[in-house]
Structures are given as C-alpha cells and as structure tokens.
Amino acid sequence: MPVTVVVGGQFGSEGKGKVAHFVAREMDASVAIRVGGPNSGHTVINPSGDRLILRQLPTAAILPNVTCSLGAGSYIIPELLFQEITLTGIDKDRLFIDPHAVVITDEELRSERESSLRQNIGSTQSGTGAAVLRRISRGSGVVFAENDERLKPFVRSVTSFLRDQLTKNKRIILEGTQGFGLSLLHSSYYPVVTSRDTTASGFLSEAGLSPFDVDDIVMVLRAFPIRVGGNSGHLPEEISWDRVTAESGSKAKIVEHTSVSKSIRRVAHFTPEVVLDAIKLNRPSRVVLNHVDYVDVTCVDSDCLTEKALRFVEQVEHAIGSKIDYVGCGPASMSRRFFVQRIPKSA
C-alpha cells in the first residue's frame, strides 16, 4: 500500500517537515497526516519564500492538492490550529480531524507551565504531556475533538477516508514528530524524553493505519544533532555553535533556536549510537542527511557536494551501515536542488 512514513533518527529537529513536504510534492501525495502534539515545530518554505513553522498541521498543508489529517493520536490547541489554517490558507474541505483526537485544555497548559518539567527535562510546556496523562488515566475531563464546537467543521471519519484513499492507490505521507532518541518507549535516555513513542510503528498507530499499508520509511538525520536548551538530557560529543561556525567556514555565526520555546539549542558532533538503534527499530528504506552545509557552508551555493562534505557523508554511511540517499544543504526551498541532492552509493 502507498504510505510513506517520515521519522527522525536522533533527538528531533532533523528537518522532517522539510522532507515530508518534499516527499509529498515529489510523490504527488493525496494525503498528509500529522500526529502528536504542538510540542514540536516543523519548518517549511512556501512558494512566496516565507518561512512557516507549523506545530499542528503537516507541512504539506501548503500544497494545493493535498488533504491533511490529524489522527486520533493528535493533541490539539484549537487557537493554534486556527492560526495555522489562516497561515497556510488550507480550507475546511482539505482538513480532516479524527473524532478521537484530544483537545489540550487551558488547565493542561497551565499545569505544565506551573510544573518543573522545563527545568527537569527541557519540556516545551505545550500541555501535550498533561493531555496524554489525563487521557491514559481514563478519568473525567478529557475533551475529544468531536466534543469541541470549534473543531466540528473538520471532524470526520479519518479511518474511512484514509482507507478509501488507499483503495484508490493514492499516496499518503505520514509526518512523524520529534526523534527516536526522545521515544518514551525505546530511548535509552529515559526519563529525559517526550510523552509518546516516536517510531514509525508508533506514528502508524496514532494515525489509524496498519503496518501492511507502508511501503516506504524515510529516516531523517542531521550532520550535527541537537537537543533543546537547558537540562534536556545527555548529548554525546556536545560542542558550541561557535565551533560549528568555525568548522563550516561560515562568515556569519551559525546558531539555532527551538521552534516552540525559542531557546538556543544544544549541538554536537555526529555520533552513530542513537541512529543505529533508530535503524533497528524503524528499518528505513531511505535515509536523508540534513545540515551538511554545517560541514562545508559552500555546499549551499553548489550543485554538488564538495570533497569535504562528500567525505563526511561517506564517514556517516560507514558509521551507521546504511546508504545516505539524499543530502540537505541549506534551508528548505521549493527548488529540488536547494532542498536535497541525490548522491551516488559509496564505493
């Protein structure tokens, strides 16, 4: 069945949103699904060159012929969702919300903001974890999308819709969030993880799809992995952004801020351990390596990888035991060359 799942192989912010948008466009996808909550932001560049950060909608929402779905495993802040609907210009006929998606309440937002989660594990305090906790406690107070009057124009049978699309052999892109190293179930870094599983199989469950539907798993990596700022857990081979800037040859300082909390990200040299575990559990059919311009900034303006960058890619391939199928250099763009460059198999 034609389902592509996009997963992160490190600690999030690998560029999954950029990849999901690219894959949806290249494969002429009919449907894009976003799962999880607003505790992670995915960035995409629209046709006008504007940089959009989406925390609820899939990045393919900016494509005119793609219908978007928020599955039963989604956690929604309605006000934020409506902002993104306006931002992307998607109309109600192209957005399906599963009746059993959960609405994050003001109480859950307040609970996280008043907690010590930010100090203890670097939480984005989006209310997602509190909503998950309330849901699994199976008590009162859970608000489902079907019970929120604001969301009713979008609430439809997502499962029936997806199954209908698959019987017509339409391509579905499932945009996973965060990264394998943050998985509640499988990460070796527990408890400094997120509130959900972040593997392909976990995303399928949240979306309402079967493993038999999948024919393509795209794992996204970064040349320099990151974790959110603060006490967010162990990050092997951690370095400074000044070091990244110097190694890249960039004249302008390179530094990244988190999409949600806007704090400065922590950054490190590439190490294979978490990626090797991610490969074991996700079995990707394709691997993307982003931020290779941090290895050599001149790759941004080149049609091919420099010798320095190519050596780095080959070292990563050797370390993880898998071929890198695409390489990302620079910010996302509607231009295929600017987004990714296909490279040959290593010798």
Q: What is the CATH number of the domain that holds 273?
A: 3.40.440.10
Q: Does 284 have pLDDT greater than 70?
A: yes
The residue segments making up the domain with residue 190 are: 3-342
Count of residues in the chain: 347
Contact (Cβ atoms closer than 8 angstroms) between residue 56 and residue 42: no
- Percent over 90 (pLDDT), the chain: 71
Answer whether residue 186 is part of any domain. Answer: yes
Question: How many domains does the chain fold into?
Answer: 1
The secondary structure of 287-343 as a DSSP string is EEEE-GGGT-GGGGG-SS--HHHHHHHHHHHHHHTS---EEE-SS--SSHHHHEEE-
pLDDT of residue 116: 54
Kindly report the average pLDDT of the chain as a whole number.
89
Distance CA 126, CA 109 (A): 6
Per-residue pLDDT tens over the stretch 217-249: 999 999 999 998 878 889 999 999 999 999 999
With a cut of 80, say whether residue 29 has pLDDT above it: yes
Q: At residue 20, does pLDDT exceed 50?
A: yes
Coil, helix or strand at residue 77 = coil
Asked whether the CA dihedral 156, 219, 261, 123 is positive or negative, the reply is positive
How far apart (Å, rounded) are the C-alpha atoms in residues 164 and 170?
9
pLDDT tens-place string over residues 130-147: 888 889 988 888 999 999
Q: Is residue 9 part of a domain?
A: yes
Kindly state whether residue 222 falls inside one of the protein's structural domains.
Answer: yes
56-94 pLDDT, tens digit each = 999 999 999 999 999 999 999 999 999 999 999 999 999
Strand boundaries in the chain, DSSP class E: 3-8, 31-36, 42-45, 51-54, 67-76, 95-97, 102-103, 143-144, 172-175, 214-222, 226-227, 238-239, 266-268, 286-290, 326-328, 340-342
Specify if 201 maps to a domain. yes
